[in-house]
Every structure is written in structure tokens, then in C-alpha cells.
Amino acid sequence: MQFERLKIQGFKSFVDFSEFVIEPGLTGVVGPNGCGKSNLVEAMRWVMGESSYKAMRASGMDDVIFSGSGKRPARNAAEVTLVLRNDLRTAPPAFNEADLLEVTRRIERQAGSSYRINGKDVRARDVQLLFADASTGARSPAMVRQGQIGELIAAKPTQRRTILEEAAGISGLHSRRHDAELR
């Protein structure tokens, strides 16, 4: 699966609807300090199911919603959609007929997050597994935070194994096994 586009509205500094087309190959994001480059990457991490608000540099999940500026009032909701090309037909069976997958996460103040895939309500877990099976996701080695390379070097062997398993695309299987063992 390949990223096709990213749509953001009300998330952090992206108060108005913004749409970014992601062409095949390498994409660079440039701009002055504080223009929202990190917020853009965080929007991708968030729609993939990030559950830690600390990873969003926030003090609560509602903090990802645009909090107002000098001229603009705060928003009550944020929504991010990541559109994926399903050309290799590797999506979960329920969605595998579609050429494009639109994965959406929405948050409303004091009401928490909801997720949709192609308009159908799904659980956070479904979205997290979709990305884990595609060897990516909010916590995967495909999303490298500042300082993370240093953490990898200092990690214990078991922690490093987790990272390698995520890179190999088998962390979704481990996660399912864990669920099965709990039942």
C-alpha cells in the first residue's frame, strides 16, 4: 500500500482544510520554524492510531484540536484522513475490493476519537492492525522521531527485537496472538 494523500482539518495549527498529495518517491517538507512541519508528521502518526498524547507533544488528546489564535476561535473537532493506494490488494478482506482506502480519525472535545475506513465505523485496533500489517504505523520504525536513533543504539536486546519485528511486518501477528491468549 502506498500513501496517496493526507487531508487535515482542525488538527493543531491546521485550522482550515488542507490537502497534501503524496507523490511516489521522496517528499520533503520545508518551511520556517513553527510553520507546522512536525504537526504534519504528527497528523500522520495520529491517524494511524497513536494513543499517547505525549507522543503528540500534548498534555491531553483534546490538545491536538486547534486551540485558537489571535484572530481565529478554537475548533471543537479535528479530523485527519490518510488515503492509501491498495494496488497490491493487501488491505483487510472487508476493504480489499477498493482501489483506495480512506482512513479517517476524528476527535471531538470531551468525546474522544472515532475511526472510519471508507466511511465505515471501525475500532482503533482495526486501524492499528491495518498499518502494522503494512509494516508501518504510529510506533513503527517507518516513523522516526527526533532522538530515536540514539534510543535504538542504547536499547536492550529485547527492545531492539520489537523494533526488528515491526520492521519485518510481523508485529500485527504478535498483537493478535496476545489478544487470543487473553481470551
Residues in touch with Mg ion (CB under 5 A) = 37-38
**According to CB under 6 A, which one of 25, 31, 119, 157 is a site residue for ligand ATP?**
31
Dihedral sign of CA atoms 56, 59, 65, 70 in order: negative
The reply, when asked if residue 36 is annotated as ligand binding, is yes
Residue with cell 500513501: 3
What are phi and psi for residue 148, nearest 5 degrees? -75, -30
Residue 137 CB, nearest approach to ligand ATP (Å):
20
* Angstrom distance (rounded) from CA 75 to CA 110: 13
Q: What distance lies between CA 43 and its chain's CA centroid?
A: 6
The residue range among 28-36, 95-103, 125-133, 162-170 that interacts with ligand ATP, by the rule CB under 6 A, is 28-36
Which triple of cell numbers denotes residue 27?
517528499
Residue 126 CB, nearest approach to ligand ATP (Å):
26
**According to CB under 6 A, which one of 33, 59, 110, 158 is a site residue for ligand ATP?**
33
Residue 34 is a binding residue for ligand ATP (CB under 6 A): yes
Evaluate whether 88 touches 98 at the Cβ level (below 8 Å). Answer: no
Q: Which residues bind ligand ATP (CB under 6 A)?
A: 12-13, 31, 33-39, 63, 66-67
Q: Which residue positions form the known binding site?
A: 32-39
